[in-house]
Structure 1
């Protein structure tokens, strides 16, 4: 596995590299400190599976533009945002632009390690937060949400693995959800699954209904709150 760290803080780079090498021995980790270095490294065609992108890389506000640029120019590359902010608006905008996850730097090392394990195994991670009402799982998932709630004195888990059968998704709809979680547009989903764009649109609407949400971004947030993981029939882990 080849991972690219895009951050301009040496201590943060060291911490992420140390964690990644502990979690996944044998992983290849490279780092860049500027948007120009990031673009140049990716343009060289070197192997890269995952980019951890600091939202504050470059000038103010450039992180979002970089994220959009990466998703447009490298659609097969998984991008997870890292940030000193855990504000819901930043999380939502990052997911809306196609990020596969959002890691607040203020998390404890233990929590960050758990989040990185989830990401490296092909899952998505967003920090626990108060979502818009429409982004919460449908009421018929209340039992699953309740089961994931921590007991008194326990640390709240960030993610739990739900039963996708409980969502009522067909295998094809699960495939569509997997690609939604990767930030893929309908045309790309159609190409990958050998479907028409109209059929993909129908599947997307079915997924949104199953999750009880109104948009693709809300679907990603709701799925991550349920602990949705791109594994098995949904997608292969990152390699």
Structure 2
């Protein structure tokens, strides 16, 4: 997006976006623009929907209950959705929000909660995860909001993997792996579809690690000599993946 538009508010909408169109915001978004940001008729906002790119829009109505905007011009072409699959054991409260936000920023295309033996949270509100993903996309100029998959047990994930992800390798951040650089293992996966699995606080159980390491589609890696929190490990792993075999250019 051109820097001249970078300071404008960005909002995700479900409506189609095309030059000359008009978009009516929902109640919460209308209140945010009209009451919180005090935007009025003629002010500019950037809208995106994950399909049509980002568009400069101007307010044609500034009612706190229903803001409408005229779609003026495209300011960024739609990007392809990332192919990076990211699975994680849900954490508590703010750290769960953090993990979702950072996954969006780091380019995950699908975010999959995975229930393990030591998972701390067993009841997730999918709408909250989706809202966090949208907020992160709005703030970081991401045009393709990741898919938030329904939670799944680790056992079911691994048994279904050969059918659901037949051509995808699963990178497993193994806290029990001898400390080493992940560069060599990741470099060998260039050009292949990949997934990343991060365990809970306390790590995977011995039985889970044994199962993971026995599967032909799983690639265990070390994240170095230091003990990382689960949320830190997620960011570190996605960073090295994107740098070595991902979409960083």
TM-score scaled by length of structure 2: 0.26
The structure with the largest alpha-carbon Rg is 2
The structure, 1 or 2, with the larger RCO (C-alpha pairs under 8 Å, 6+ apart) is 1
**Which structure: greater helix fraction?**
1
